[in-house]
Amino acid sequence: MNSDIKSKIKEEEITNLAQELIKIPSDETAGEKEVCEYLESYLKSLGMKVRLQEVLPNRPNIIAEVIGDEVGKSIMFNGHVDTVPVGDIKKWSMDPYSAIIKDNKLFGRGSTDMKGAIASMIIAMKFIMNNVEKFNGKIIFTGVMAEETTGLGTQKIVEENIKTDMAVVGEPSDEKIYRAHKGTMWFNLSTYGKLEHSSESNSESNNAIINMMKLIMEINEISKELETIENNLVGHPSINIGLIDGGTKQNMIADSCRISIDRRTLPEEKTDEILDKLQKTAPGDLAQAYLQYRQQNQPQQLTDSNITELKGIAGGEKGYGEMLQWAEKNLNKQEIDMFDQVMEKGDPLAAFFAVRSLAYRWEDSRGVDGRMLTGTSPKSDGSQFRSQAEVVQAMSDPRYDRDSAYRQDVMKKLERSNVNF
């Protein structure tokens, strides 16, 4: 720092302002309103023209201006006022919002990314206001929301056509000056499979997670290719799989799996070409994955193997027959119709639940410990199944065959339940 300027800028001013900003939570959950209102008051006290730019409810940008004596060049100091979440608080050695100084370093969530930089830019603007007798042009400070997530704050600045001749973005850069930055694309990719009980699993099973594994291997090959491309300003493009979610329960073959991808782009890359390459990534057996999913989840016929397994639940052919005779004498018409409807659909998993549920009731009637139907979670708020009978009822609903979203809801509800089978 120039010695003359350093003598006039008190570093403790920067530190004190940074500490006050760090003490105000501003992640996605807390929102940015409180920290923006603090900055609004502070900047107005310095004599700046300030306004909050509403982006989402309780989540504004903050914009401040210092206007020179005459028309001239303009510069923007830009930073984001949001932070990433704290995460597991137990992994912190101190309160993340305490903003303490230790060994001449400032600690706290956002100290580097990037409330420290915001404090520095604001104090620099204050210095210009108080120490430059005459300057031409304009200085604009833009503190944007949601930079760590959606980028809506920056988008709002662009939509309002707030422009300057040059800009300084205060992102942490290891005290290096960067003239460009990679672009970002976020998207999801999904694979599909055939929902079955794990007892049906074999190497030929259409498991969405296995299908996704093949796709991930292809994406890894793309990553290697991207490492060979170089831009003299920002380096190479990249692709990262940051999230994966699939399946409903460990004893069921997954019928869907999704990954979330972060693709960092170069200035010369085109969005359409990037998407086109990814769409051509999947191996041939995945290209028709969705079509297979729709076809294979239509009503089907139980195989001889399925039927043998189902009868085995009741002790074999004879036991199964005796169980059905008992059901005809002891169940009401609605229960019998429900059982018949499930069996006629030919879905092995639904049939498994129907037969197992009936077998428990039959065993219970004979004084055998059939664990009956209730599991150990009799909640009635609708978030869980209270019995295998409720599972069967949900699977007998016509939507279970034709509506993948409904079927997924049933599986998620089953995962939350404590129903024995």
CATH assignment at residue 218: 3.30.70.360
Same domain, 219 and 330: no
Same domain, 148 and 36: yes
285 lies in a domain?
yes
C-alpha to C-alpha distance for 296 and 291, rounded to whole angstroms: 8
26 lies in a domain?
yes
Q: What is the pLDDT of residue 401?
A: 61
Listed residues 108, 140, 169: the one ending a domain: 169
Whose CA is closest to 246, among 193, 309, 282, 178?
A: 193
| pLDDT-above-90 percentage for the chain | 39
**Based on C-alpha coordinates, what's the Rg of the chain?**
31
Same domain, 313 and 292: no
Mean of pLDDT values over 340-359: 77
| 377 confidence band (pLDDT: 50, 70, 90) | very low
Q: Which amino acid is at 267?
A: P
Q: What is the pLDDT of residue 413?
A: 76
Q: What is the pLDDT of residue 364?
A: 74
The CATH number of the domain holding residue 13 is 3.40.630.10
| 376 confidence band (pLDDT: 50, 70, 90) | very low
Q: Which amino acid is at 200?
A: E
176 lies in a domain?
no
Q: What is the pLDDT of residue 5?
A: 67
Q: What is the pLDDT of residue 419?
A: 53
Give yes or no for a contact between 53 and 62, defined as CB atoms under 8 angstroms apart: yes
Q: What is the pLDDT of residue 2?
A: 55
244 lies in a domain?
yes
Q: What is the pLDDT of residue 167?
A: 95
Tell which wins on pLDDT, 338 or 258. 258
Tell which wins on pLDDT, 375 or 187. 187
174 lies in a domain?
no
Beta bridge partners of 185: 263
Residues with Cβ within 8 Å of 359's Cβ and at least 6 positions away in sequence, in order, are: 313, 314, 323, 370
Query: Between the ranges 120-129, 177-186, 210-219, 342-351, where is the mean pLDDT highest?
Result: 120-129
Give the per-residue SS3 of the chain: CCHHHHHHCCHHHHHHHHHHHHCCCCCCCCCCHHHHHHHHHHHHHCCCEEEEEEEECCEEEEEEEEECCEEEEEEEEEEECCCCCCCCHHHCCCCCCCCCEECCEECCCCHHHHHHHHHHHHHHHHHHHHHCCCCEEEEEEEEECCCCCCCHHHHHHHHCCCCCCEEEECCCCCCCCCCCCCEEEEEEEEEECCCEEHHHCCCCCCCHHHHHHHHHHHHHHHHHHHCCCCECCCECCEEEEEEEEECCCCCEECCEEEEEEEEEECCCCCHHHHHHHHHCCCCHHHHCHHHHHHHHCCCCCCCHHHHHHHHHHCCCHHHHHHHHHHHHHHCCHHHHHHHHHHHHHCCHHHHHHHHHHHHHHHHHHCCCCCCCCCCCCCCCCCCCCCCHHHHHHHHHCCHHHHCHHHHHHHHHHHHHCCCCC
421 lies in a domain?
no
Q: What is the pLDDT of residue 49?
A: 95
Domain count of the fold of the chain: 3
Same domain, 280 and 405: no
**pLDDT value at 373 more than 50:** no
Query: Between the ranges 82-86, 131-135, 173-177, 386-390, where is the mean pLDDT highest?
Result: 82-86
Mean of pLDDT values over 200-229: 90
Same domain, 31 and 112: yes
178 lies in a domain?
no
Give yes or no for a contact between 138 and 164, defined as CB atoms under 8 angstroms apart: yes
Q: Output the average pLDDT for the chain.
A: 83
Q: What is the pLDDT of residue 392?
A: 67
Mean of pLDDT values over 310-320: 86
Q: Which structure tokens are listed for 167?
A: 């800009």
Q: Which of 104-118, 187-201, 318-332 has the lowest mean pLDDT?
A: 187-201
Q: What is the pLDDT of residue 298?
A: 46
Tell which wins on pLDDT, 381 or 35. 35
Tell which wins on pLDDT, 177 or 402. 177
Q: Which of 18-22, 25-29, 340-344 has the lowest mean pLDDT?
A: 340-344
**pLDDT value at 129 more than 70:** yes
Q: Which amino acid is at 419?
A: V
Same domain, 17 and 160: yes
Q: What is the pLDDT of residue 361?
A: 80
Same domain, 272 and 351: no
Beta bridge partners of 261: 187, 241
Same domain, 34 and 164: yes
Beta bridge partners of 66: 139
Q: What is the pLDDT of residues 166-188, one digit of tens each?
A: 999 999 988 888 888 888 888 77
Tell which wins on pLDDT, 338 or 151. 151
Q: What is the pLDDT of residue 18?
A: 97
Q: What is the pLDDT of residue 294?
A: 35
- The parent domain of residue 210 ranges over 183-296
Q: What is the pLDDT of residues 247-305, one digit of tens each?
A: 888 888 988 888 888 999 998 998 878 877 776 665 544 434 333 333 344 446 677 77
pTM: 0.56
Same domain, 216 and 254: yes
**pLDDT value at 229 more than 90:** yes
Same domain, 37 and 113: yes
